[in-house]
Amino acid sequence: MKQDAAVFDNVEAGYGNVRILNGLSFRVAEGEVFGVIGPNGCGKTTMLNALSGMIRPSKGMISCFGKELNRLEAYERCRLGIGRTWQIPRPFAGMSVYENTLAAAVHGAGRKNLLRDRRSGRKESDTALKALEETGLAEKKDMPSGELTLLDRKRLEVARAMASEPRLLLLDEVAAGLTEAETTQITDLVAGLKEKHYTVIWIEHNIETMMKATDRLMCMSEGRNVLTGDPAEVMASETVERLYLGADDE
């Protein structure tokens, strides 16, 4: 039987005294592309922060591939196989595409993996190159990152996350700001990752993309899971429609 890749069980978390996640619960099965939508400010990025270890829950439990995460530091979670992108790409602009990815590979690999890699003769440079190939950036590896188009900067975000060799990949609005054609390319990239058996949690505002590219969809509101299920059913639900339409009138 397949493990759960990620579990949130009644999680409360926030910043300082401000609670953003209010009893958030959901499960992501191994190998699925799990989409997350919800009005601005409802806590989607905060959920990724809680999962990747930027913040800790004050209540509830978060686990990943059967291991409880609550007390683990961000770098330990990275080494457990959680890789993430940031809503605002922040590569080192002066470094090449390859150098940026290599930095992520070295940082993410950790001591244990380095020893393993030494023994198997595998290097971080191979991991970085593989990540660039998987994201379609191999030919641009020597370009300064600052010269990349927005689409390629988004790809680089994914490549940097991939370079830590994650099993669970967290994508935060990687398609935001892209044209329709570019969004299709990112969607194809994620579909390719699914084929390679990565598990993906993908936050995106573009409803069409979420309907097309995800296996299940969770709609969040005010730090809670309002509805999770088949993407088409979630989008057709009155609750979700009210959330999106009502967001401006309140």
Nearer CB in complex with ligand ADP: 22/184: 22
Report the chain's C-alpha Rg in angstroms. Answer: 18
Applying CB under 6 A, the residues found at the interface with ligand ADP are 15, 18, 20, 38, 40-46
Q: Is 90 helix (H, G, I), strand (E, B) or coil?
A: coil
Could you tell me the strand order of the sheet in which 4-15 lies?
A: 18-29, 4-15, 59-64, 67-68
**In the complex, minimum distance from the CB of residue 36 to Mg ion, in angstroms, rounded to a whole number:** 10
**In the complex, minimum distance from the CB of residue 171 to ligand ADP, in angstroms, rounded to a whole number:** 12
The item of Mg ion, ligand ADP, none sharing an interface with residue 171, based on CB under 5 to 8 Å by kind, is none
Could you tell me the strand order of the sheet in which 199-203 lies?
A: 82-84, 168-172, 199-203, 33-37, 216-221, 224-229
Q: Considering only residues 7, 45, 127, 175, which one is a binding residue for Mg ion as defined by CB under 5 A?
A: 45
User: Under the criterion CB under 5 A, does residue 49 sit at the interface with Mg ion?
Assistant: no
Using CA atoms, how far apart are residues 84 and 223, in angstroms rounded to an integer?
Answer: 20
**In the complex, minimum distance from the CB of residue 5 to ligand ADP, in angstroms, rounded to a whole number:** 20
Which residues, including other chains, have CB under 8 Å from residue 126's CB and lie 6 or more apart?
none
The item of ligand ADP, Mg ion, none sharing an interface with residue 43, based on CB under 5 to 8 Å by kind, is ligand ADP
- What's the maximum distance between 2 C-alpha atoms anywhere in the chain? 61
**In the complex, minimum distance from the CB of residue 188 to Mg ion, in angstroms, rounded to a whole number:** 23
Stretch that binds Mg ion, among 37-45, 65-73, 102-110, 182-190 (CB under 5 A): 37-45
Using CA atoms, how far apart are residues 75 and 53, in angstroms rounded to an integer?
Answer: 8
**In the complex, minimum distance from the CB of residue 193 to ligand ADP, in angstroms, rounded to a whole number:** 22
The item of Mg ion, ligand ADP, none sharing an interface with residue 40, based on CB under 5 to 8 Å by kind, is ligand ADP
Using CA atoms, how far apart are residues 224 and 248, in angstroms rounded to an integer?
Answer: 19
**In the complex, minimum distance from the CB of residue 172 to Mg ion, in angstroms, rounded to a whole number:** 6
Torsion of CA 154, 156, 160, 162, to 10 degrees: 80
Q: For residue 236, how many other CB atoms are within 10 A of its CB?
A: 10
Structure tokens at 165: 């060799």
Stretch that binds Mg ion, among 39-47, 49-57, 97-105, 184-192 (CB under 5 A): 39-47
Nearer CB in complex with Mg ion: 38/166: 38
Count residues contacting Mg ion (CB under 5 A)?
2
The item of ligand ADP, Mg ion, none sharing an interface with residue 213, based on CB under 5 to 8 Å by kind, is none
β-pairing, 4-15 vs 59-64, is antiparallel
Nearer CB in complex with ligand ADP: 42/190: 42
Which residues of this protein are in contact with Mg ion, per CB under 5 A? 44-45
